[in-house]
């Protein structure tokens, strides 16, 4: 079967996510036949480095032998059982290990099957906690501008990216939005720390005014991924944790994209604390998905505290239980993939290995910093982003309708790399099995692609 045959069949029946389907006339989907390590291979043998980890999920490469084996063994034992009234070993072992791996105080794991669902669980659980404890007046949430937390109606409501949200606005609950500590917006000469600290005043003011009616603040720690990979300083998390406690408001850390080593530590929340000696913060809820199964199977978990768990622990007749459920909650195959993922982190000492890889990523794009159409090259651990602009001095963006990022994407495909951009932001967020040579290749492809994109 050729690529063209596959595409023809696809376009007869499949409606693709996050896609204007008319675009497929110019950019047909690329049919992938197999994957191996960082590579994706189409039906005609063309290979592409999966530099965006297939929407940030893949961690240890495609068709990873260790993860494959674990899933195959699980498959012959138990493929699925519902988690209400029943239990199974992979779900129990995974919860035990996540309690140990996540910040102190997160002692309970509530499973679901995708990131948006984990966010919905955190929002509902927070609201319901306050209700169960006699605070029915708390009904609101605070988010950050430019944040993203998923696409289901609740998760979409607490996001702030117009592209995904605006159309559905009439259907959504209305959060209170504090200014993002995004350091791309800092004035010249101002450090990341100074900027993020100063912007916190906006959050503090919202909390001071609305804490009495607010259930929780939700943030993506350190990095607003779908918000064009905008980054901020960990001091913001420290200030936020302290303020949430002081104001009696929960803190929800959405580590769906940034968790599992992306930011340089296993979880981004670990980086909060004094420079050089961070001891991390503990949120009241931590949402995990994506890298949880190394990109193998849909699974998510909302970690929470004993205090929150206990507020639901009651006689049935009081009707205070958390009844949220999804059919595939805690699927054993997905839990097996997650257990294999945690094993790989330990076996490979991956968090430390990533320090070296992150340096290679920085080196690969170093020349781009001075490019007249690059507003910023920024990096947090294993995520590196290059923001293309029309004018470097003023950081004036290109007209979004020119879709220059797509030109970089198209060029990269001809050079064996999958670099799906976010608007005019080109980024690397690769599987951790990538080699320094492959990173160097990505740097070269991005530089050529940007040159082409800005000179048309």
Residue nearest to ligand PMP as judged by C-beta position: 115
Q: For residues 203 and 229, which CB has a smaller minimum distance to ligand PMP in the complex?
A: 229
Least Å distance, CB 420 to ligand PMP, is 12
Least Cβ distance, residue 2 to ligand PMP (angstroms):
31
Residue with smaller CB distance to ligand PMP, 160 or 220 = 220
Smallest gap, in angstroms, from Cβ of residue 144 to ligand PMP? Answer: 11
Q: Tell me the closest approach of the beta carbon of residue 224 to ligand PMP, in angstroms.
A: 8
Name the residue nearer to ligand PMP (CB basis): 255 or 424: 255
Cβ distance 446 to 386 under 8 Å? yes
Which C-beta is closer to ligand PMP: that of 154 or that of 449?
154
| Nearer Cβ to ligand PMP (71/121) | 121
Tokens of 438: 């492959």
- Quote the least distance from Cβ 431 to ligand PMP, whole Å: 16
Please give the backbone phi and psi of residue 61, each rounded to the nearest 5 degrees, phi first.
90, 165
Instruction: Output 149 or 371, the one with its CB closest to ligand PMP.
Output: 149
Rounded to 10 degrees, the C-alpha dihedral 165/167/168/173 comes to 60
Measured from the CB of residue 116, what is the shortest distance to ligand PMP in angstroms? Answer: 3
Minimum CB distance to ligand PMP smaller for 90 or for 298: 298
113 or 407: whose CB is closer to ligand PMP? 113
Phi-psi region of 91 (alpha: psi -120 to 50; beta: other; left: phi over 0): alpha
| Helices and strands (H and E) in the chain: how many | 14, 16
| Length of the chain, in residues | 456
Q: How many CB atoms lie within 10 A of CB 356?
A: 10
Residue 398 DSSP symbol: P
Q: How far is the CB of 287 from ligand PMP (least distance, A)?
A: 7
Find residue 302's DSSP bridge partners.
Answer: 110, 287
Q: How far is the CB of 385 from ligand PMP (least distance, A)?
A: 14
Closest to ligand PMP by CB, 53 vs 438, is 53
What CA–CA distance (Å, rounded) separates 248 from 217? 11
C-alpha span between 300 and 144 (Å, rounded): 22
Task: Dump the DSSP string for 163-224.
Answer: HHHGGGGGGS---EEEPP--GGGPPTT--HHHHHHHHHHHHHHHHHHHGGGEEEEEE-SSEE
* Distance separating the N- and C-terminal Cα atoms of the chain: 35
Q: Which CA distances in Å does 255 have to 62, 79, 219, 258, 288?
A: 22, 27, 9, 5, 5
Residues making contact with ligand PMP (CB under 6 A)? 114-116, 119, 148-150, 220, 225-226, 254, 256-257, 289
CA atoms within a 13 Å half-sphere pointing along the CA-CB vector of 112: 20
Distance CA 204, CA 199 (A): 9
* Least Cβ distance, residue 220 to ligand PMP (angstroms): 5
């Amino acid at each position: 079967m050729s690529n063209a045959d596959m595409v023809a069949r696809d376009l007869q029946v499949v409606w693709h996510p996050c896609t204007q389907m008319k675009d497929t006339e110019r950019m047909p989907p690329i049919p992938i036949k197999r994957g191996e390590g960082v590579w994706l291979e189409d039906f005609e043998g063309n290979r592409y480095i999966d530099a965006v980890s297939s929407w940030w999920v893949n961690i240890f490469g495609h068709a990873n032998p260790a993860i494959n084996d674990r899933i195959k063994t699980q498959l012959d034992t138990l493929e699925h059982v519902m988690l209400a009234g029943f239990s199974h070993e992979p779900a129990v072992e995974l919860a035990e290990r996540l309690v140990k791996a996540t910040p102190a105080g997160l002692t309970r794991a509530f499973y679901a099957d995708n990131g948006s669902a984990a966010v919905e669980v955190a929002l509902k659980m927070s609201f319901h906690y306050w209700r169960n404890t006699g605070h029915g007046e708390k009904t609101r949430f605070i988010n950050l501008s430019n944040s993203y937390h998923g696409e289901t109606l609740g998760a979409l409501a607490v996001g702030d990216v117009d592209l995904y949200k605006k159309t559905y606005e009439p259907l959504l609950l209305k959060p209170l939005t504090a200014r993002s500590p995004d350091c791309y917006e800092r004035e010249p000469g101002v450090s990341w720390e100074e900027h993020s600290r100063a912007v916190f005043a906006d959050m503090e003011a919202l909390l001071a005014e609305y804490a009495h009616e607010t259930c929780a603040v939700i943030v993506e720690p350190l990095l607003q991924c779908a918000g064009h990979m905008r980054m901020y300083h960990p001091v913001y998390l420290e200030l936020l944790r302290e303020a949430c406690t002081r104001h009696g408001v929960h803190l929800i850390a959405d580590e769906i994209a940034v968790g599992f080593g992306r930011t340089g530590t296993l979880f981004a929340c670990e980086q909060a604390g004094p420079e050089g000696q961070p001891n991390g913060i503990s949120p009241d809820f931590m949402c995990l998905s994506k890298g949880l199964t190394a990109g193998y199977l849909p699974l998510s978990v909302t970690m929470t505290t004993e205090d929150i768990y206990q507020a639901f622990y009651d006689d049935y007749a009081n009707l205070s239980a958390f009844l949220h459920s999804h059919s595939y909650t805690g699927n054993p195959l997905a839990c097996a993939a997650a257990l294999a993922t945690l094993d790989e982190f330990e076996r490979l000492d991956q968090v430390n290995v990533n320090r070296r890889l992150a340096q290679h990523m920085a080196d690969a794009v170093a020349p781009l910093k001075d490019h007249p159409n690059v507003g910023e090259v920024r990096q947090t651990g294993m995520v590196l982003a290059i923001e293309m602009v029309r004018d470097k001095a003023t950081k004036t963006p290109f007209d979004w309708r020119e879709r220059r990022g797509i030109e970089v994407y198209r060029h990269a495909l001809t050079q064996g790399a999958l670099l799906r951009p976010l608007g005019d932001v080109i980024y690397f967020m690769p599987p951790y099995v990538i080699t320094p040579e492959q990173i160097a290749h990505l740097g070269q492809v991005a530089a050529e692609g940007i040159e082409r994109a800005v000179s048309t």
